[in-house]
Amino acid sequence: MTEKAPQRKYDKKYFRDEYTQTYLRRWEESPVHSRKNASELIREHVKSLEKSGTDLGKLNYLGIGAGPGLTEFHNYSDCLEKFKSVAILDIAKRTPAFSRSDAKNVIDLEGDAENIPVKTGSIDLATCLLSQDFYPNRDKSTQEIRRILKPGAKAIVFLHHPESYRGILKLTKNAEDASFFNHMLSGDRLFYDKERIRKHYEGNGLIVTGIRERKPKKPEEYWGYWWEVLLSKKAGK
């Protein structure tokens, strides 16, 4: 008989205190291909900036909900080291993913994605990779992304796909994990189609320059589903 999962409130406190303890395990289970694709998008954007003659040494990067910066520093640290500053923001302080003694441009920030502790119009590139679905007020977090971006600046957001969580539920034998994934599938926690994604971000003042639905090559590879959203802030605003 499966043990019944305890009643939980999946709020900011949960993600700050309890989810933190299993972060590394969940990161290892998260889609390797999504990290690879994030890396490719970052590199593509940095390359276009360099081609345009932009001085990367004057630009600021912000990773929102980035934990200890595992994705940033395991996948595209060579791009980030060119920036003036690289801020890694998370709701809970986590041990950095690696020794940063040589990464003098890195700033670790503890803060809420719905109230980002960053100056208005100060960020040239922001990423939020597979974490925005967890924020209680997604509208507010998107408005914060718009606020902190410079006019014309870009943001890359990856979102969980419901098919991924449905697949995991078929496999998990852990009652607490099942409770969490059922919670995420309930209500409007996840996006089910491109039109809803576009409506959300445009409704909160950002320009949607691209939406891609990633699917696995094999149906059983449930972690192979996710959404990629490319955003920008209108120039002059």
Q: Is 117 among the domain residues?
A: yes
Indicate if the pLDDT at residue 155 is higher than 90: yes
Report the C-alpha gap between 229 and 88 in whole angstroms: 20
Among the ranges given (3-12, 64-73, 202-211), the one the predictor scored with the smallest mean pLDDT:
3-12
What integer pLDDT is reported at residue 124 of this predicted model?
96
Give the pLDDT band of residue 211 (cuts 50, 70, 90): very high
Rounded alpha-carbon distances, angstroms, from residue 78 to 46, 81, 107, 218:
11, 5, 16, 32
Residue 1 lies in a domain: no
35 vs 25: which has the higher pLDDT: 35
Residue 5: inside a domain, yes or no? no
Q: What is the predicted pLDDT for the residue at 73?
A: 78
pLDDT score of 2 more than 50: no
Least confident of 92-101, 186-195, 202-211: 92-101
CB-CB neighbours of 18 under 10 Å: 13
Decide if pLDDT at 63 tops 50: yes
pTM attached to this predicted model: 0.89
Q: Which of 5-9, 90-94, 228-232 has the highest mean pLDDT?
A: 228-232
Total domains in the fold of the chain: 1
Q: Is residue 202 a part of any domain in this protein? A: yes
Amino acid at 137: N
Q: Tell me if 93 is assigned to some domain.
A: yes
CA separation, residue 115 to residues 64, 74, 154 (Å)? 11, 27, 19
Q: Is residue 6 part of a domain?
A: no
Query: Half-sphere exposure (CA, 13 Å, Cβ side) for 188?
Result: 8
Measured between alpha carbons, how far is 226 from 215 in angstroms, rounded to an integer? 7
Per the listing, tokens 């994030």 go with: 38
What range defines the domain where residue 162 resides?
Answer: 12-232
Q: Report the 10 Å Cβ neighbour count for 115.
A: 10
In a domain? residue 96: yes
CATH number at residue 172: 3.40.50.150
Which among 84, 94, 88, 81 is positioned nearest to 62, based on CA atoms? Answer: 88
Mean pLDDT of 106-121: 93
Within a domain: 215: yes
Structure confidence by residue, pLDDT tens digits, 115-128: 999 999 999 999 99
pLDDT of residue 21: 61
Q: How confident is the model at residue 13 (pLDDT cuts 50, 70, 90)?
A: confident
pLDDT surpasses 60 at 76: yes
